[in-house]
Amino acid sequence: MTLKIERNSDGRTIGRVRSEHLEKLKKQTGVKGASIVFDMECVTLVDLEVVRFLNACEKSGIELIHCSPYIREWMGCEQDRRDKARKFRLQKSTYAHKARKEKENYNESS
């Protein structure tokens, strides 16, 4: 068994959580008006897509408890990487916009 979700007041996941389990987890988090907590105590292995999903869960207000240090560290690294990529894209688009403006100004003055 690689994934088990216990239905009670929280979502307790057990075992390995991989990207093919995300649809099942997304259905669990789609409950309207429910306060959702993922108990990660028995989760032993995750993959990159799950790390991204867990970051999105926390961002949307889902609480993760008993999350192993390696998963927390990976989540932090992935969030840092995404923040840096977002900042780079923003800088790149700003520079591109400036270059277009300079080109337009140059063309108008010629």
Encode 64-99: b = buried (16+ Cβ within 10 Å), e = exposed: beebeeebeebbeeeeeeeeeeeeeeeeeeeeeeee
CATH of the domain at 33: 3.30.750
Range of the domain at 101: 4-109
Total count of domains within the chain? 1
Would you write out the chain's pLDDT as a tens digit for each of its 110 residues?
345 555 554 455 656 777 887 887 777 776 555 677 888 888 888 999 999 999 998 998 888 999 999 999 999 999 999 888 888 777 877 777 777 877 777 777 76
